[in-house]
Amino acid sequence: MTQLQISDTTFRDAHQSLIATRLSIEDMTPIASLMDSVGYYSMEVWGGATFDTTHRFLNEDPWERLRSLKKQITKTPLSMLLRGQSLVGYRVYSDDIVDTFVKCAADTGIDIFRVFDSLNDERNILQAAKSIKETGKHLQLTLCYSVGEEKHLGGSIYNLEYYAQKATTLYEMGADSICIKDMAGLLSPYDAFVLISKLKEILPCPLQLHTHYSSGMASMTLLKAIEAGIDTVDTCLAPLALRTSQPAIEPLIVSLQNTQYQIDLNLNLINKIGQQLEKSLLKYRDYFDTEKSAVIDTGVLSHQIPGGMYSNLISQLKENNAIDKLSQVLLEVSETRRDLGYPPLVTPMSQMIGAQAVNNVLFGRYKMITDQIKDYVYGMYGKSPAAINPDVSKKALENYTKGKNPITNRPADNLSPELNNAKEEIKSLTRDLHDVLIYALFPTTGLSFLEKKYSDKPLIPQKPPEHIETPIKPNLKITSSPQKTKSNKTKAYNISIGGDTFLVEVDPLNIDSMQNPSLDQAPVASDQEMIPNSIPVKINMPGIILKFFVEIGQVIKKGDPIILLESMKMETTIPSPESGTIVAINTEVGMTITNQTIIMLLKE
Ligand code: CO
């Protein structure tokens, strides 16, 4: 009999892939201790997106979530996914931040650290590996599985020798186990057999497979992986399985019954937990992708987009009112990836390539390059698997402040220690190192979270929006042209619904924000703020203003940087669309803007 071990991803990757990481601790708590009794090898409960979403959207302290799960799950080891030198964030951090984060995570409850680098550049996992070894916890090092134009194992970059050599290097770095991370469901069953047979032959440590169902191959891939001798596989509970998530555990258990392979898990208990989870998920149904009927995406084999990234692209395009450009963006993702040297599409590279592809479609190719892509081209993220298109490299490093020629040393070697500065900057709002790390990793959203955490009002957990059944279209007609009202600011319409007619007053200044409810704080300049004959500056990208590069009175030319904007989780230096002298600035740092927001006013 061959014993197969199972890692469960329900509390991390499964809800990250399907409902934008929104499952709250309240809905995990009722099933957490039951999950603990199933007999899993480990449970993945924490990672980049959970750290981000908890503090950004759910008003939940990410550390508190881990602490709470550790209290409830006492037998099963807890694991987290760590993005190497980028930890749970989107850039490379200094070694002291990495070391402190790892030690805090180990102290709070992480037993197994799964560490990867999105470029498979092992220099980016050196520090994390060293720190994890010092804590005595399990170090799992990861190969990000990717393919080139061939769409299969092989070709000039992502071939068997590439993975064998990478795996050997990771083992020599002290890995207690190695994971193959197939974030887009690209690993086909027979390629999995070849790859896993080879790695089992050369690796003295256990081997684990993490795959996604996206392309529809995952169940078949798991079977071939099991036949090739994989030690552990990742699955999740049926209600959050399949689609862009992991394969479900339930059919796998039954498939392997009466074979030489054995899974020691309690199927009855799993079914019971599944039913309970199913009930909690009702309120999250608006987060599920219901754009199409197919639950698998055959297109993933050509555009190679992992689930989390796919749902991000959808929401980014919706924010930009450009969902009709989705198919164009999917094609552009492949092009952008080729230009940038075929990085594997995994966080943060997947977000960076995705956001850049959206920019390329909305504003023209490489007209608006995010600061992260500039840093990548410069070498701040590590070595690209293949050469970067020299034209793109030239455009990206034009006016780039850090340097004209790409760097070749370990990215973190270019950073000074950051922890003490962060401590100093945020000392009035922090009680411990955990707070400091929230700020150090997420300076903008982390700061506003800490302000809420330490304000007089208690943190109120954010609930999923109330599900509203799509109403049967009422027979709604506007039966008059706009009429002037007393206030002169509002307009009045006669509106008939069914047979009744109502006089409705509408304030046109509020219409823009009504159309974009997620950005409802977006300011709209009122008449008083308009200066006669001035030119309003608006930009075609929604986001949060992080920084101003200009001030009132300054003369600027079209193309000069005006603001640093956080959009699609990327930072972009926004060039001025107009020339002139700045006579008013109508926005401020921290403000959410839309394409209707007047950022500033210029005069010729
Ligand atoms: Co995954």
CATH topology of domain 526-603: OB fold (Dihydrolipoamide Acetyltransferase, E2P) (2.40.50)
Coil, strand or helix: which one is 479? coil
Question: Which pLDDT value is given to residue 316?
Answer: 82
Residue 520 has pLDDT above 80, yes or no: no
Q: Give tens-digit pLDDT for 353-367.
A: 999 999 999 999 999
Per DSSP, which regions of 103-259 are E strands?
112-115, 138-144, 177-182, 207-211, 232-235
pLDDT in tens, 432-467: 999 999 999 999 999 999 999 999 887 887 777 666
CA distance readout (Å), 211 to 180, 431, 494: 8, 39, 56
CA of 201 to the centre of ligand 1 (A): 25
- Compute CA distances 90 → 71, 165, 350, 401, whole Å: 29, 27, 11, 20
Beta bridge partners of 502: 495
CA-based nearest residue to 243, from 163, 300, 170? 300
C-alpha 356 – ligand 1 centre gap (Å):
22
CB 22 within 8 A of CB 409: no
Please check whether residue 98 is in contact with residue 363, taking contact to mean a CB–CB distance below 8 angstroms: no
- Per-residue pLDDT, averaged over 73-95, amounts to 95
213 alpha carbon – ligand 1 mean position (Å): 10
Place of tokens 């952008």: 336
The class of domain 2-284 in CATH terms is alpha beta
- Of 594, 49, 592, which is closest to residue 309 (Cα–Cα)? 49
pLDDT of 383-434, one tens digit each? 999 999 999 999 999 989 888 888 989 999 989 999 999 999 999 999 999 9
Cα 306 versus chain centre, distance: 10
Predicted local confidence at residue 539, as pLDDT: 86
For tokens 């940087």, what's the residue? 561
Between CA 377 and CA 372 the distance in angstroms is 9
Distance from Cα 529 to the centre of ligand 1, integer Å: 48
Q: Which residue has the higher pLDDT, 475 or 126?
A: 126
Say how many Å lie between the CA of residue 164 and the centre of ligand 1. Answer: 21
Burial (CB < 10 A; 0-12, 13-18, 19+), residue 155, is middle
pLDDT tens readout for residues 214-237: 899 999 999 999 999 999 999 999
CA of residue 512 to ligand 1 center, whole Å: 37
User: Look-up: residue for tokens 């979403």?
Assistant: 53
Q: What is the pLDDT of residues 280-294, one digit of tens each?
A: 999 998 888 887 788
SS3 for 71?
helix
DSSP letter at 124 equals: G
* CA 300 / ligand 1 centre spacing (Å): 15
Question: The whole model's pTM is what?
Answer: 0.78
Listed in order, strand segments (DSSP E) in 49-176 are: 78-82, 112-115, 138-144
DSSP code, position 397 = H
Q: Which segments of 298-389 does DSSP mark as H helices, in order?
A: 300-303, 307-319, 326-339, 349-363, 371-378
Look at the block and give the residue holding tokens 């959050």. Answer: 240
Every domain of the chain and the residues it spans: 2-284, 465-517, 526-603
Q: What is the DSSP string of 261-298?
A: EE----HHHHHHHHHHHHHHHGGGGGGS--S-S-SS-T
- Answer whether 76's CB lies under 8 Å from 42's CB: yes
Tell me if domain 2-284 and domain 526-603 are identical in fold: no
Q: Give distance in angstroms: CA of 445 to centre of ligand 1.
A: 24
DSSP state of 10: I
For residues 371 and 570, the answer to whether their CB atoms sit within 8 Å is: yes
- β partners of residue 8: 43, 235
**Residue 581: count of CB within 10 angstroms of its CB:** 15
CA of 325 to the centre of ligand 1 (A): 26
What distance in Å separates the CA atoms of residue 210 and residue 458, rounded to the nearest whole number? 38
Number of H helices, E strands in the chain: 21, 22
The reported pLDDT for the residue numbered 493 is: 61
- Compute the distance from residue 217 Cα to the ligand 1 centre, in Å: 15
Residue 584 tokens, joined: 């008013």
Q: At what angle do helices 249-256 and 218-227 cross, to 10 degrees?
A: 40
How many angstroms does the Cα of residue 405 sit away from the middle of ligand 1?
34
